[in-house]
Chain A
Amino acid sequence: MLFSLAESFRSALLAIKAHGFRSFLTTLGIIIGVASVIAVVSVVQGLSYSINAEFENLGTNTLTIRADTPFKEALKGKIARITLDDYQTISDNVTGIDSMTPTYQGFGRVREIKFGSQMEVSNVLGTTASYRQVNSLYIDQGRFITLDDDKKSRRVVVIGPSLIEKLNLPSQPLGQFIQIAGEWFKIVGVTVSKGELFGIDQDNIVIMPFSTIQSLIGRQTKPQITIQLSLSKNADTHQVVSTIRRLLRSNHNLSHEQIDDFKIQTPEQLKSSFTSIIDGITMVLGGIVSISLLVGGIGIMNIMLVSVTERTREIGICKAIGAKRHHILMQFLIEAVVLSLLGGLIGIALGFGLGVLASMVIPNFPPAAVPLWAILIAFGFSAGVGVVFGIIPAAKAANLKPIDALRYE
């Protein structure tokens, strides 16, 4: 049985080679199906690797609290807010917090940065010293903002490296003054580059002390802020989250039936929501691709049926000299499987090539990566397609009566 299998394999390759171009056309459906699945998976997986790496930078024991207007409230024109009062409440009442950072994101005029004749719109943040640890930000030149800066509302900023180029600053910009919303600020530090995520430049950033930005927008307004906090080593995350939730609900005067107007996110949650989006994309595309594999399979079945008809006499000859049903069955089945596996192989190579090309052509896109499981699934699928769609033609061939097959013109 073993060498008859090897024999079938050999004659399958021979038959495929005999109709080289036709075999190629036959497998085109499989090639396209597998190539598209591999291309898509490689791009999406590359993306997911880079997102995961991004999340690794966030400490695992940090929480982010941000306003989240419930849909019903949004319809009424209300906007939920997290304010400094909330910040104060949490810092006064919650134990197990190591450090806490309010972040205010400037908008409007507070985003316009000037240096000389250069003007640039940037992401302007007001925050405190602990922002650096919580967000794994590193300093390339100078220093980060300090507690003292905040206490004295100093007009100092730390800038991201891409602003040096954009504002035409000297490459050692420490001590230079830039203008934000008409006020002058001294550059005291430059961060290490964080690169880009989803094509967004993470280095186009200006960070100033929280109290400084407060004075810039006016003391009387209650700014919308984001609170980041890192938990102390032994703190129970669930405990802390539920305490904060209780405090914020009472601060915001929420009744029992009202849902939270804020979100307390852990990095795990953020990560898993990204992962589930990516998994969703992969599934949908996988579904589309399986349709093309189905079409490819029907192509294989069609050509195998043609091949059985063409080779009816040969089948008759083989039966006349002693071939049994299983010999003929195996020969045609193996031929179908080899055909679709060849398609799968070419498809994997082509798909990976396309994925690499796509991630190179799209600017700021992470490099493509094909996980082993995708290759195994692609192989398994093509083999499966070969078996499923090869079985009918193979059975048709095997069931031919020798005399009928020999008489076939």
Chain B
Amino acid sequence: MALIELEQISKHYQMGSQLVKAVHNVSLTIHHNEYIAFIGASGSGKSTMMNILGCLDSPTNGHYRLNDQNVATLDESALADIRNREIGFIFQSFNLLPRATALQNVMQPLIYLGIPFNERKNLAIEALANVQLEDRSDHLPNELSGGQRQRVAIARALVTKPSILLADEPTGNLDSQTSVEIMRLFDQLHKDGQTIIMVTHEDDIASHSNRQIKMKDGNILRDSSAI
């Protein structure tokens, strides 16, 4: 059974008289434990795709089935549940809560899951340990390096054990040495069974994946698995 099925998905923006087709008629199937990289020129619609996949944004047209559930018909509350349980999102700019410590950041998704404090804390400590940051748990985001922040974000994304890890240019704000560390972490997660979908500009980052999907002008130009 497919994890994700996209059928003729479009995202259009009406900008004055101009219709921007950020994503246009994309159909795509993604299975469990795939390791995918979206590549392509700037403005080709990669981030738009990720936001739709992550249920942060809704498509203007088309069908999106996640775990055999039609996402288009879900209300805001059910979508919040999906973002909480099924999806871990990692951003280029980390997007940590600035006033919360590393530990509190990782605990945050568990609040929405309704897990009691002590259990929340244990799960968060475990998730931080998985990214080798247990000794930084009391630090605020601005007391951490970029690579450390991204690892906190990864711990937060994974703490609810989601079925998909989505990462939009996860190494975009990091130097090459740190990028290598993050990618090593991704490779390990994939080996442990995690489904990973990422966006990148860099070929050597993309080469970590098993399947590369190249986008152009809102369409899929080339899908390495389809060849």
Interface residues of A (CB under 8 A from B): 3-4, 7, 14-15, 18, 313-314, 316-325, 327, 401-403, 406
State whether the Cβ of B76 lies closer than 8 Å to any Cβ in chain A.
yes
Contacts A3-B111, A317-B96 supplied; 6 other A-B pairs, CB < 8 Å: A4-B114, A320-B89, A322-B83, A324-B112, A401-B57, A402-B83
CB–CB A402/B95 < 8 A: no
A sample of 12 cross-chain residue pairs with beta-carbon separation below 8 angstroms, ordered by A number, consists of A3-B117, A14-B99, A313-B95, A317-B96, A320-B95, A321-B156, A322-B84, A322-B113, A324-B77, A324-B80, A402-B57, A403-B56
State whether the Cβ of B85 lies closer than 8 Å to any Cβ in chain A.
yes
Beta-carbon contacts under 8 Å, B71-114 to A: 76-77, 80-81, 83-85, 89, 91, 95-99, 108-109, 111-114
The CA-CA distance from A322 to B85 in the complex, in Å, is: 8
CB–CB B97/A314 < 8 A: yes
Query: What band does the interface of chain B fall in when counting residues whose beta carbon is under 8 Å from A?
Result: 20 to 34
Residues of B within 8 A of A406 (CB): 56, 91, 95
With both beta carbons as reference points, the residue of chain A lying nearest to B55 in the complex is identified as: A402
Residues of B within 8 A of A403 (CB): 51, 56-57
With both beta carbons as reference points, the residue of chain A lying nearest to B54 in the complex is identified as: A320
The distance from the CB of B161 to the nearest CB of chain A, in whole angstroms, is 13
Beta-carbon contacts under 8 Å, B37-82 to A: 51, 54, 56-57, 76-77, 80-81
The distance from the CB of A232 to the nearest CB of chain B, in whole angstroms, is 74
Q: Interface of chain B, helix or strand or loop or mixed?
A: helix
The CA-CA distance from A402 to B89 in the complex, in Å, is: 12
State whether the Cβ of B16 lies closer than 8 Å to any Cβ in chain A.
no
- Residue from B51, B95, B98, B160 within 8 A of A322 (CB atoms): B160
Residues of B within 8 A of A323 (CB): 80, 112
Residues of A within 8 A of B85 (CB): 322
The CA-CA distance from A113 to B62 in the complex, in Å, is: 106
Residues of A within 8 A of B116 (CB): 3
With both beta carbons as reference points, the residue of chain B lying nearest to A402 in the complex is identified as: B56
The distance from the CB of A35 to the nearest CB of chain B, in whole angstroms, is 30
CB–CB B57/A321 < 8 A: no
With both beta carbons as reference points, the residue of chain A lying nearest to B116 in the complex is identified as: A3
The CA-CA distance from A364 to B81 in the complex, in Å, is: 67
The CA-CA distance from A325 to B83 in the complex, in Å, is: 13
> Given the interface contacts A18-B99, A314-B97, does A322 sit within 8 Å of B114 by beta carbon?
no
The CA-CA distance from A316 to B93 in the complex, in Å, is: 13
> Given the interface contacts A327-B112, A403-B56, does A319 sit within 8 Å of B80 by beta carbon?
yes
CB–CB B81/A325 < 8 A: no
The CA-CA distance from A325 to B117 in the complex, in Å, is: 21
